[in-house]
Structure 1
Amino acid sequence: MFKQSALALALMACAALTHTNAAASAKPSNESGAVAQQQTNDWAAYLASSQQLQQQDQAVLEAELKVLGQKSPSRPAPTKEFGFDTEQPLEWFNTAEGKRIMDIILSFQTPSGGWSKRTDMAAHPRLRGQAFGVEDDYIPTFDNGATSTQVTLLARAFKATGGNRYRTAFERGLQLILSAQYPNGGWPQSFPLVGGYHDHITYNDALMHDLMVVLHSVAKGKNEFDFVTPAQRQAAQASLERALECVLKSQVMNNGVLTVWGAQHDAKTLQPAKARAYEMAALTSSESVWMLDFLMTLDNPSPAIINAVHSAAAWYETTKITGKTWVRGAATLTDKQDAPPMWARFYELGTNKPIFGDRDDSIHYEVGKVSKERREGYAWYTNSPNAVLKRYAKWAKKYPRA
């Protein structure tokens, strides 16, 4: 039984219930029943694809282990990000170092088409019988820029060198992004699905943002993406439109007022969802910055997107904390008259009060109530909205609220 079976059963049950309700509705049942049945079919196909890709990844590794006579895979070297500076000029891809690192990236692409996080891709190529990443729940993943970063690098490598192996790997990575998108438009943290909070629609660590940026670039077919086919551009645009629908539907309404987003949203209900013990179902100032920023890059935004941007900006204005600073690890805020505005990372649903969590699942209204380990190990406050709100001030003049 594959690991996402619990989610599969829940999603299928939800889709079946929707179909039953639609058939029993007082409205003409033919049309509503057909829509519900299509939703059921879409989820079934999605979950089958996840299972197939997971089995494919496992089969490749198991075959290697059998040849080597190993019972379990070795692990590649861990690193904070990918082990090298990913922001490189086009000329770099034609250097010996650029080619060496791109060879390593190619070697770590999973059979399903993605990459893992915190895996050193500057040391040496993946060895046979070696796991494709350092953490099981993130092989492969979209978390911490994984897969979206490699896909972009491969597009640039092909642009610089014309090497078809880069294009082939890019196309496989792009296909994984398209395949991993939920029928409702969001993305899980990892795909194939691995279960638990990883299956939530993930705004955390800019995951939704990063994938939408890639799709937006592919859809435009410009710069390093000018080689993509018309079919790939069309598929990317359709995927982006579904993602935008999900973004609009998942923007949280607090007491009749549209606000921002959660770090994670339930894949079925689209409501904010809990992740790790200290990451509550809540509004998040940090992750919502990325989505607000992306929405303002869109040409000719729809009235719904314009309203979403203005609403998010208004929420930031309402919840900002002025005249205070916070140093990671501190139990209290410090007065500082000229300090730039800052925000708590999480805000309680319904009240907009800052909240803070701990490893024991406890929730507090004061950062000082959180254990010292979590105060030192987590960013409970942020100044990041300030930069995007400056861009918003210019954007708002071009797209005033109706």
Structure 2
Amino acid sequence: MKFSQPLTAAFASLVLLAGCSGDSRAVETANPARTMQEYRALSEHFHALDQNALKREVQQSGLKRPLAAPAAKRFGFDAKLATGDAVFIASAEGRRIADVVLSFQTPSGGWSKRTDMGSAPRRPGQEFGKEKDYVPTFDNYATSVQFWVMVNACNATADKRYCDSALRALKLVILAQYPNGGWPQTFPLRGKYHDDITFNDDAIANLLNMVGAVARGDERLAFVPAALRRQAQASLQRGLQMLVDTQVIIDDRPTIWGAQHDAATLQPTSARAFEPVALATSESADLVLFLMAVDNPPPAVVRALEHAVEWFEQHKINGFRYERARYEYKELIADDDASPLWARFYDIDSDRPVFGDRNGEVYFELGQVSEERRAGYGWYTERPYKVLKEYAKWKNKHRP
């Protein structure tokens, strides 16, 4: 593949790194794309890197086709232990899990979702992930969780393999950021709604927390080279501006964010059939929680944060609780002691709760949605309540 001029030899030396070990000097020298033309070239090259590596393994192993990756609801290991417990990750079992996770890292530097990374290491010729369209991905906490596993293992064991793995993942995240500051759901790009700027399931909130931790000098990330830390700081600033730019304006007032936004227009868009164009409360709540953790937030970020909090205050539902089970659905139940609730989605035009179905239909009454979707999706959330509680503390610090 022929690259445009800005894709330097230093970048080429980075992306040609395969396997689990990497050259941190090459990692430091690569730069994020400045235009969408450069960005798509990065995506295509990383995609080819992953595909060609797997093809070589299949041929060398004498296989006719790649071996299927093992499936898991999440990742097949206790993420809380593996990402945050230094004693555990340094134990024999912890290092075994770290090695399995490491084996599933793609040559491009990321990881898949719904793939068992807790049982056995990936075999030569085995696919990197269970789902073709999500390898690698930032969806369902993929790549961000594995990054923190590698960080924990790096610090607990001083094993360079884990440190290099974390650096490659961080570099992928920085390179996967659109020039406008957003991130797609998957990188390399896969097309369709996967290419949207994706707040859904906290994909971008997780990535912002990654680059934010590096940018502010989190002691867990002391092994990150200075040049890469500077790139993370720039990434954070682009991400903050993107949040300001994508906050939905209704009647000249900023509100919250959609679950997905078009990567070109920055306008809210739809994803799966039952996820309509709408304001998304749960994802927006986690974005606001992130913004409240930013050191010395610029005025534009402060305004965005305060407008979002104001919107949450105006839309809270008091006096009800929401119960959901896999095969049983109940309407909101009256409960004067319940914490405030918010609908998962709000229609942008009418400002009313809105509910989608697998057939693409959108309703204003949850009872109109099919039984399968009523029971199989979380249509109400308490997440913004944490925002309101944390905002009181934040306001005392920033608006005394």
TM over 0.5: yes
- Does residue 249 of structure 2 align to residue 253 of structure 1? yes
1-structure distance, mates of 2:40, 2:290: 29
What do the CA deviations read for 1:303-350 (whole angstroms, capped 9, x no partner)? 111111110011011111111222225363222222221010000013
- Does residue 72 of structure 2 align to residue 79 of structure 1? yes
What do the CA deviations read for 1:147-168 (whole angstroms, capped 9, x no partner)? 1111122122111111111111
The residue number in structure 2 matching 1:356 is 355
Secondary structure of 1:87 counterpart: helix
The residue number in structure 1 matching 2:101 is 105
Q: Find 1:154's aligned residue among 127, 150, 160.
A: 150
Secondary structure of 1:193 counterpart: coil
- Does residue 267 of structure 2 align to residue 271 of structure 1? yes
- Check the 8 A contact 1:248/1:305 in 2, yes or no: yes
C-alpha displacement of 1:399: 2.6
1-structure distance, mates of 2:86, 2:37: 42
- Does residue 319 of structure 2 align to residue 320 of structure 1? no
- Check the 8 A contact 2:319/2:337 in 1, yes or no: yes
2-structure distance, mates of 1:321, 1:243: 31
1-structure distance, mates of 2:160, 2:393: 42
Secondary structure of 2:305 counterpart: helix
- Does residue 185 of structure 2 align to residue 186 of structure 1? no
2-structure distance, mates of 1:299, 1:176: 24
2-structure distance, mates of 1:340, 1:74: 48
Secondary structure of 1:97 counterpart: helix
The residue number in structure 1 matching 2:13 is none
**1:298–1:41 distance in 2 versus 1, CA, 3 Å:** closer
Write out aligned runs for 1:167-316 (5 A). 167-316=163-312
Q: Find 1:56's aligned residue among 49, 52, 60.
A: 49
What do the CA deviations read for 1:208-262 (whole angstroms, capped 9, x no partner)? 1100111111122332101111111101000010011101100101111110001
The residue number in structure 2 matching 1:128 is 124
Equivalent AA in structure 1 for residue 397 of structure 2: K
In terms of mean alpha carbon deviation, does 326-335 or 107-116 score higher? 326-335
Equivalent AA in structure 2 for residue 59 of structure 1: N
Cα RMSD, aligned residues only: 1.7
1-structure distance, mates of 2:252, 2:65: 53
The residue number in structure 2 matching 1:386 is 385
1-structure distance, mates of 2:331, 2:378: 14
The residue number in structure 1 matching 2:89 is 93
- Check the 8 A contact 1:42/1:183 in 2, yes or no: yes
1-structure distance, mates of 2:64, 2:248: 47
TM-score of the two chains, using structure 1 as the length reference: 0.88
The residue number in structure 2 matching 1:45 is 38
Equivalent AA in structure 2 for residue 288 of structure 1: S
Secondary structure of 2:136 counterpart: coil
- Check the 8 A contact 1:114/1:141 in 2, yes or no: yes
Equivalent AA in structure 1 for residue 224 of structure 2: V
- Does residue 164 of structure 2 align to residue 165 of structure 1? no
In terms of mean alpha carbon deviation, does 44-53 or 87-96 score higher? 87-96
What do the CA deviations read for 1:86-128 (whole angstroms, capped 9, x no partner)? 2232122221101111111111000111001111111000011
C-alpha displacement of 1:136: 0.6
Equivalent AA in structure 1 for residue 221 of structure 2: F
2-structure distance, mates of 1:317, 1:94: 45
Secondary structure of 2:96 counterpart: helix
- Check the 8 A contact 2:147/2:170 in 1, yes or no: yes
- Check the 8 A contact 1:262/1:284 in 2, yes or no: yes
Equivalent AA in structure 2 for residue 254 of structure 1: I
Equivalent AA in structure 1 for residue 365 of structure 2: E
- Check the 8 A contact 2:34/2:179 in 1, yes or no: no
Equivalent AA in structure 1 for residue 396 of structure 2: K
2-structure distance, mates of 1:68, 1:153: 29
Equivalent AA in structure 2 for residue 90 of structure 1: A
Q: What are the ranges of 5 or more consecutive residues in structure 2 without an aligned counterpart?
A: 2-32
1-structure distance, mates of 2:394, 2:170: 30
1-structure distance, mates of 2:361, 2:158: 54
Equivalent AA in structure 2 for residue 48 of structure 1: A
- Does residue 335 of structure 2 align to residue 339 of structure 1? no
1-structure distance, mates of 2:148, 2:349: 39
Secondary structure of 2:271 counterpart: coil
What do the CA deviations read for 1:153-185 (whole angstroms, capped 9, x no partner)? 212211111111111111111111011000100
TM-score of the two chains, using structure 2 as the length reference: 0.88
The residue number in structure 2 matching 1:27 is none
Secondary structure of 1:398 counterpart: helix
C-alpha displacement of 1:132: 0.2
- Check the 8 A contact 2:100/2:121 in 1, yes or no: yes
- Check the 8 A contact 2:68/2:127 in 1, yes or no: yes
- Check the 8 A contact 1:104/1:122 in 2, yes or no: yes
C-alpha displacement of 1:138: 0.7
The residue number in structure 2 matching 1:68 is 61
In terms of mean alpha carbon deviation, does 81-90 or 280-289 score higher? 81-90
1-structure distance, mates of 2:34, 2:257: 28
